[in-house]
Structure 1
């Protein structure tokens, strides 16, 4: 991976958090020479962002000129500041045409601890997994399969959150 040049830095897309408890996501569409195994869909470097300050830090990092190869992983091992006792599954629709759908899962401590003890199972920031999909049908099928797998381990309580369910009526 390379620290991104000014040209490559423009090939990124910000996915805003769909709710207060979920991170935002930055996808970087890597140049053809840097694509391959280990990247989402073989081409996207995905980064979870929990605060506006982290986004500003990442933007500065990506826009800074450099002469050496550096992975844009400055947030990957930073501990998460968001806490939850529940599995949180967040779906991100493409902000613009030509970009993929993203599904981020935030796993509470019992799940993330099990992942730490499983070889080859890495979680960004110690609690996030992320999947990237080319079309909405694939993200829907993956979401259903994920819920079925979680349900196989015991009773599953599901609460769907939408922008409408998160806002309270009032006056402005």
Structure 2
């Protein structure tokens, strides 16, 4: 069942749990087809509209699609190093508890703050992760000379992400709010 996306959507909807689709215009999550986006439009209450590791184009496209479809916007750093933790986030003013935070999101009082990702930042993060990998798996020390190629791989990844974003963004230029939003976002409607 871990790979059954539709069953997951049905479960989350039935349980009235707050959830979002992250990396909307990123190839990191694997292959996409147009049906995925139709499921997102119909069932997912929130879109990640700013990710601190994603390019600004992908974040901008996600924010635009979220607005067109009437989705709640959230953001997060998605950082794998301490450098980026908390640099991109979702803020709900006056929320003091988890329940107040989620109530604020449901009431659309959340504000996405912080920075988009950059290729240079991603490259720096990969270099920051290397020492931990070497410590955890000493056998990887033999691969250390390949570290000089990290910028080539991250640049290639960055270009692929931009291509993926452009490919899918063109499919949704005429998108509008979905008539079939099968989730209740009224305060108190969900379990936390």
- Taking structure 2 as the reference length, what is the TM-score of the superposition? 0.23
- Greater length-normalized contact order (CA 8 Å, ≥ 6 residues apart): 2
| Greater helix content | 2
User: What is the TM-score normalised by the length of structure 1?
Assistant: 0.25
- When Rg is computed on C-alpha atoms for both structures, the one with the higher figure is 2
